[in-house]
Amino acid sequence: MKVAIIGAGPAGITAAYVLAKHGVALDVFEAGSTVGGMSRTIRLWDQSVDLGPHRFFSKSKMVNDLWLEILGNDYLTVRRLTRILYKEKFFAYPLSPSNALKNIGLVQAVICLSYYFKESVMPTRLDGSFESWVTHRFGKRLYEIFFKPYSEKLWGIPCSALDADFASQRIKKLSLSEALKEVFCKARFKEHRTMIDQFSYPCKGTGYLYQCMAGAVEKNGGTIFYNRLVDRVNVTAGRAHSLTFSDGRISGGYDLIISTMPLTQLVVGLSDVPGEVKEAAGALRFRNTILVYLKIDSVDLFPDQWIYVQSPEFRTGRITNFRNWVPQLYGEEKSSILAMEFWCNDEDALWKDPDQDLIDLASRELRQMGFKNAAILDGHVERIRRSYPVYNLGYKENIKVVRDHLDKITGLMVIGRGGAFKYNNQDHSIFMGLQAAANIVHGERNNLWDINTDYDDYQETGTSANN
């Protein structure tokens, strides 16, 4: 058997690692210059940083065992602190209603509670949208303060057009009634399963895990080609067999092709795709990320690993402080590196702005948030296309049309965040890679499409790797 893998992000390189270990002949084609995808680590100003925050924990024994197999003891357990910045105040994250009600003040707290109790009498009609789901659960005012601004920054669409799947996957399933018991009855607040208070992290950055995998792939006979952008997967008589690259070259003779390239791009590059499948794929959207790194002349800016910026007056949605992960990232350096995240679409002016304009924007917003004392020494910009699959209303119907077509093609698997159009964390993508490899090596019949359909059940009861 000979296998081709498109993309060396967490899903693709994990599948390659397992297949190579079992002696399967394989080629990995990575469009970039290194492995890790969105979880790669880069060097800046004599320090190591990731593309945003990438913590690791999982309830899957398979995933945890793989982590330990590759890293051994070359990782640390980090105590997590993450908060929400709103109106110059910090709120607990995941959101604690008692903390939130206390911080917003008595008047706003009364308004929030009145809207919450109104939902028990006149509940919001659930129409499948993120807006109706959150309003029904928390009340209109809490939705407007804590959920609407950040979500619309991230996705670039009104929350009324965002599918409730995002809420069920990514919002802490707390009950406001439990929070009120905490406040008024001194009952112990039930910590929701998403409240993981520690996580594992490689000493050399998240990308080190995937660099180790890549080394093992090559040691076991696999080949990794860098800067090789796949243009299309070639299919004849219903079987995928070769790849055509952006420069026109072709690589073939494959019994199986595993694709982690964006699902929309995969469909565009296939031949003989029915019109309704093209239309469904065309309706799927990805969101881009711009990361602006700022080198700050300070080692004590704030204690969080990252902060969510809810305030709608700021375009920044999240700030990562790499000084608060593990000391190996910064070594002897006496400065901190912040990553300011902005989200946009291809057609947005922000995506096309010069680097210096983006650095100026990030610097200005950091000052406006109250971080005025430390000098900003330098800046750097990273642009990531198609980083978030957008769960707009109707996306599931479009995915089903695409999935039904791809399932008819022999010798083709799709995995990963972009490949399967799923809002994966890195451990979900690792799990996808493991399951894909098990299907090949052991003849298992894991349904790769179904991984991460229930985010909460799969992952958020998880542990850090050493637990």
Residue 400 and residue 275 share a domain: yes
| pTM as predicted | 0.90
Last residue of a domain, one of 158, 185, 212: 185
3-state SS record for 368-416:
HCCCCCCCEEEEEEEEEEEEEECCECCHHHHHHHHHHHHCCCECEEECC
Burial class (CB in 10 A: 0-12, 13-18, 19+), 457: exposed
Does 262 fall in a domain? Answer: yes
Q: 206 with 63, same domain?
A: yes
Kindly state whether residue 431 falls inside one of the protein's structural domains: yes
Distance separating alpha carbons of residues 160 and 130, to the nearest angstrom: 6
Of 2, 96, 59, 33, the residue nearest 452 (C-alpha): 59
Same domain, 131 and 165: yes
413 and 273 housed in the same domain: yes
Q: Are 43 and 20 in contact (CB under 8 A)?
A: no
- State which residues form the domain around 307: 286-389
Q: Based on the domain organization, do 220 and 354 belong to the same domain?
A: no
Gap between the Cα atoms of 118 and 79, Å rounded? 38
Are 385 and 406 found together in one domain?
A: no
Q: Can you give the CATH number for the domain in which 357 is found?
A: 3.90.660.20
Q: Counting Cβ atoms within 10 Å, is residue 219 exposed (0-12), middle (13-18) or buried (19+)?
A: exposed
pLDDT for the residue numbered 465: 57
> Are residues 20 and 145 both part of a single domain?
no
| Co-location of 68 and 54 in the same domain | yes
Measured in degrees and rounded to the nearest 5, phi and psi for residue 141 equal: -70, -45
Q: Are residues 402 and 277 in the same domain?
A: yes
The string of pLDDT tens digits covering residues 306-330 is 999 988 899 999 999 999 999 999 9
* Residue 316 maps to a domain: yes
Q: Are 413 and 257 in contact (CB under 8 A)?
A: yes
Residue that is written with structure tokens 């002897």 in the block: 332
Residue 450 lies in a domain: yes
Residues 381 and 423 both lie in one domain: no
- Does 303 lie in the same domain as 247? no
Of 140, 155, 185, which residue constitutes the final position of a domain? Answer: 185
Domain total of the chain = 3
Give the separation between CA 228 and CA 6, rounded to whole angstroms.
9
Look at residues 348, 372, 389 and tell me which one is the last residue of a structural domain. Answer: 389
Residue 466 within any structural domain of the chain: no
Parts of the chain with a pLDDT under 70: 95, 97, 169-196, 452-467
Quote the tokens at residue 285.
Answer: 């959207």
- 230-236/89-92 β-pairing: unpaired
What was the pLDDT predicted at 185?
53
Which residue intervals of 252-354 are DSSP H helices?
263-268, 275-282, 349-352
CA distance 306 to 116: 29
Residue 463 falls inside a structural domain = no
Find all residues with CB under 8 Å of 107, minimum gap 6, and list them: none
H or E segment to which residue 224 belongs: strand 223-225
Residue 213 inside a domain? The answer is: yes
351: burial class by Cβ within 10 Å (0-12, 13-18, 19+)?
Answer: middle
Residues 320 and 454 in one domain: no
DSSP 55-109: -B-BS-HHHHHHHHHHHTT-EEEEE--EEEEETTEEEESS--HHHHHHHH-HHHH
Residue 191 in any domain: the answer is: no
Residues near 228 by beta carbon (within 8 Å), at least 6 away in sequence: 29, 30, 31, 245
